[in-house]
């Protein structure tokens, strides 16, 4: 054999070995990327239910709440102390609850050693009270936003929103629910005993490195952080004993980047009664409900005496390619919560035939349209800038917003200060789960949604509202823009310089 031939053979075999090794390595990474906690049956901790926040009603009729952002430690697993942040406690926060027509004031004090904000996600309120990146609360300071609750009963939530730091602050534990009631919602006979047959479920995916959280992003995860297990209301492996035939679950996806497709382990049907912004016109029967980060759903499920059933998150389609399916969480399965029904159950009245008509525009008489192209590098090609107003909207006007994702990874789209109607998804009428009031909508790759939005909050040319991708890493990276609501003929002003609120 000539030296040349020998060299060729060596080179070729070396190439084959490399290819096989790379292929094997890829397979190893590929199969390792899929996560499942299904069927492990380790529901050993009783689900914690966040306490209802105490409030007092002042002489002018304003309901006043106190929220204190604080650092602490939480034992998610007995004996293991995890450093965490929370509101009025070490992890998450109390559930705020108020009724339509009430005036509320929240005294937010920051005892952390860095500035943060508290945003009221889904709330219709003046932009200056919104708690977005412009309303920073300095360490040691208190910020006291106040507004009148003027929207339908709904499951909203609150969380920090400091520009570039939102993922970190939420993951450390700053998040809570804000439940709104109105005369209609209280009179429908829905399960509404908080913590008994009406359960708040704050779902987050987490990862631990010993006692500490591991918040690292996987190299191949373009969505940001994905955990390898889930937690509800800060409880790992949770179960809850229920004593009523019908149980209402208020699901909140408070995760950083993970989208869930909730259902039960026996595929039983449940009724979707409310979306982000409130009740549906009619309860919608289904056996899966998909929630991307920031979205909420209220479902009512029937349990049989003495049974156990598991709320599970199933694999879902988050892109039309294997990459997103595998590396961005689409193939994962999680057992989220076990419901344990008592042997004797209290009788529950049947759900009413009709619930409530959502107060959202139908898209007719729209004043104008706008277009939003979603890219991780910025919406419409521009990353978020605190000093730039991207849109000026006339108070009271309805607009059609077309949002498109062709970015090769999943995103979602959230708008502050409003509840909107999804008019279409890729040109088709939306499925039942998207027919109610929404403030956040999921956009897997190659999706276009049209939204009808009416901006009836008060005008303020200097205080912007945000719109952004609610995958928190993307938001932090600058997938966010700002708009102001102005009176007819008024021009946008300048967002006030970022300043920390001192004192009261």
* Binds ligand C2O by CB under 6 A, chosen from 134, 282, 404, 416: 416
What residues are paired with 392 via a beta bridge?
484
Judge residue 187's burial from the number of C-beta atoms within 10 Å of its C-beta, 0-12 exposed, 13-18 middle, 19 or more buried: exposed
Determine, following the binding rule CB under 5 A, whether residue 416 of this chain makes contact with Cu ion.
yes
Binding span for ligand C2O by CB under 6 A among 88-96, 271-279, 399-407, 466-474: 466-474
Determine, following the binding rule CB under 5 A, whether residue 474 of this chain makes contact with Cu ion.
yes
Cα 140 off chain centre by? 28
Question: Which one of ligand C2O, Cu ion, none interacts with residue 248, CB within 5 to 8 A by kind?
Answer: none
Tokens encoding 168 = 């970190």
Kindly determine how many residues on this chain lie close enough to bind ligand C2O according to the rule CB under 6 A: 10
Question: Which one of ligand C2O, Cu ion, none interacts with residue 450, CB within 5 to 8 A by kind?
Answer: none
Write each residue from 292 to 311 as x if it is in contact with ligand C2O (CB under 6 A), else as -, in one continuous string.
Answer: --x-----------------
Would you say 225 and 167 are in contact if contact means Cβ atoms under 8 Å apart?
Answer: yes
What residues are paired with 309 via a beta bridge?
339
Question: Which one of Cu ion, ligand C2O, none interacts with residue 86, CB within 5 to 8 A by kind?
Answer: none
The smaller minimum CB distance to Cu ion, of residues 161 and 326, is found at: 161
| Minimal CB distance residue for ligand C2O | 121
The smaller minimum CB distance to ligand C2O, of residues 163 and 501, is found at: 163
Instruction: Report helix, strand or coil for 177.
Output: strand
Instruction: Report helix, strand or coil for 32.
Output: helix
- Shortest spacing between CB 138 and ligand C2O, in angstroms: 20
Angle at 290 between CA 287 and CA 294, to 5 degrees: 145
Determine, following the binding rule CB under 5 A, whether residue 471 of this chain makes contact with Cu ion.
yes
Would you say 370 and 403 are in contact if contact means Cβ atoms under 8 Å apart?
Answer: no
Judge residue 86's burial from the number of C-beta atoms within 10 Å of its C-beta, 0-12 exposed, 13-18 middle, 19 or more buried: buried
Determine, following the binding rule CB under 5 A, whether residue 258 of this chain makes contact with Cu ion.
no
Between the two ends of the chain, the Cα-to-Cα distance in Å is: 89
The smaller minimum CB distance to Cu ion, of residues 232 and 480, is found at: 480
* Binds ligand C2O by CB under 6 A, chosen from 134, 258, 414, 454: 414
Please, which of residues 154-183 interact with ligand C2O by CB under 6 A? 159, 161
- Shortest spacing between CB 49 and ligand C2O, in angstroms: 22
Determine, following the binding rule CB under 6 A, whether residue 119 of this chain makes contact with ligand C2O.
yes
Determine, following the binding rule CB under 6 A, whether residue 121 of this chain makes contact with ligand C2O.
yes
Determine, following the binding rule CB under 6 A, whether residue 466 of this chain makes contact with ligand C2O.
yes
Question: Which one of ligand C2O, Cu ion, none interacts with residue 294, CB within 5 to 8 A by kind?
Answer: ligand C2O
DSSP state string for 401-424? EEEEE-SSS-EEEEETT--BEEEE
Judge residue 353's burial from the number of C-beta atoms within 10 Å of its C-beta, 0-12 exposed, 13-18 middle, 19 or more buried: exposed
d(CA 164, CA 114): 13
Please, which of residues 109-128 interact with Cu ion by CB under 5 A? 121
Determine, following the binding rule CB under 5 A, whether residue 468 of this chain makes contact with Cu ion.
no
Would you say 485 and 458 are in contact if contact means Cβ atoms under 8 Å apart?
Answer: yes
d(CA 199, CA 253): 14
* Binds Cu ion by CB under 5 A, chosen from 47, 180, 469, 485: 469
- Shortest spacing between CB 223 and ligand C2O, in angstroms: 16
- Shortest spacing between CB 169 and ligand C2O, in angstroms: 12
The smaller minimum CB distance to ligand C2O, of residues 161 and 454, is found at: 161
Determine, following the binding rule CB under 6 A, whether residue 454 of this chain makes contact with ligand C2O.
no
Determine, following the binding rule CB under 6 A, whether residue 468 of this chain makes contact with ligand C2O.
yes
Cα 118 off chain centre by? 15
Q: What Rg do the C-alpha atoms of the chain give, in angstroms?
A: 24
Binding span for Cu ion by CB under 5 A among 174-182, 209-217, 263-271, 406-414: 406-414
Angle at 100 between CA 50 and CA 54, to 5 degrees: 35
Question: Which residues touch 273 (CB under 8 Å, ≥6 apart)?
Answer: 190, 248, 279, 280, 283, 298, 299, 300, 351, 355
Instruction: Kindly list the residues in this chain that would bind ligand C2O in the complex (CB under 6 A).
Output: 119, 121, 159, 161, 294, 414, 416, 466, 468, 470
Instruction: Kindly list the residues in this chain that would bind Cu ion in the complex (CB under 5 A).
Output: 121, 411, 416, 469, 471, 474
């Amino acid at each position: 054999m000539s030296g040349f031939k020998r060299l060729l053979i060596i080179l070729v075999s070396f190439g084959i070995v490399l290819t096989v090794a790379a292929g094997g390595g890829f397979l190893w990474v590929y199969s390792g990327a899929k996560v499942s906690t299904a069927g492990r049956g380790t529901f050993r901790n009783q689900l914690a239910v966040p306490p209802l926040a105490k409030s007092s009603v002042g002489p002018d009729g304003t309901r006043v709440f106190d929220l204190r952002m604080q650092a602490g430690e939480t034992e998610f697993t007995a004996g293991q102390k995890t450093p965490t942040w929370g509101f009025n406690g070490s992890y998450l926060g109390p559930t705020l609850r108020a009724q339509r027509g009430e005036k509320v004031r929240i005294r937010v004090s920051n005892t952390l050693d860095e500035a943060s904000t508290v945003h009221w996600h889904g709330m219709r309120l003046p932009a200056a009270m919104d708690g977005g990146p412009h309303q920073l609360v300095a360490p040691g300071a208190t910020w006291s936003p106040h507004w009148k609750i003027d929207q339908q009963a709904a499951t909203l939530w609150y969380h920090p929103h400091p520009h570039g730091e939102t993922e970190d602050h939420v993951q450390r534990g700053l998040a809570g629910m804000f439940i709104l009631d109105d005369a209609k919602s209280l009179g429908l006979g829905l399960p509404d005993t908080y913590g008994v047959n009406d359960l708040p479920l704050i779902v987050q995916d987490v990862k631990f490195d010993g006692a500490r959280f591991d918040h690292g992003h996987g190299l191949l995860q373009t969505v940001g952080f994905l955990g390898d297990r889930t937690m509800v209301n800060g409880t790992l492996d949770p179960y809850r004993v229920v004593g009523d035939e019908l149980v209402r679950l208020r699901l909140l996806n408070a995760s950083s980047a993970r989208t869930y497709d909730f259902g039960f382990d026996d595929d039983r049907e449940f009724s979707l009664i409310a979306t982000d912004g409130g009740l549906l016109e009619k309860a919608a029967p289904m056996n899966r409900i998909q929630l991307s980060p920031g979205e909420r759903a209220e479902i009512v499920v029937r349990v049989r005496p003495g049974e156990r059933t598991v709320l599970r998150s199933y694999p879902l389609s988050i892109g039309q390619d294997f990459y997103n399916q595998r590396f961005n969480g689409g193939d994962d399965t999680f057992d989220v919560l076990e419901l344990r029904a008592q042997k004797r159950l209290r009788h529950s009245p049947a759900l009413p035939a009709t619930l409530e008509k959502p107060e959202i525009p139908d898209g007719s008489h729209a004043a104008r349209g706008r277009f939003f192209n979603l890219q991780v590098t910025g919406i419409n090609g521009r990353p978020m800038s605190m000093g730039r107003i991207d849109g000026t909207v006339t108070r009271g006007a309805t607009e059609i917003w077309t949002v498109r994702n062709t970015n090769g990874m999943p995103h979602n789209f959230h708008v502050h200060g409003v509840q909107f109607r999804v008019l279409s998804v890729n040109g088709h009428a939306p499925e039942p789960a998207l027919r109610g009031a929404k403030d956040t909508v999921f956009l897997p790759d190659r999706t276009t949604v049209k939204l009808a939005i009416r901006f009836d909050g008060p005008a303020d040319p200097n205080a912007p509202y945000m719109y952004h991708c609610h995958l928190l890493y993307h938001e932090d990276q600058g997938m966010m823009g700002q708009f102001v609501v102005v009176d007819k003929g008024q021009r946008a002003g300048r967002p006030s310089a970022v300043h920390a609120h001192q004192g009261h």
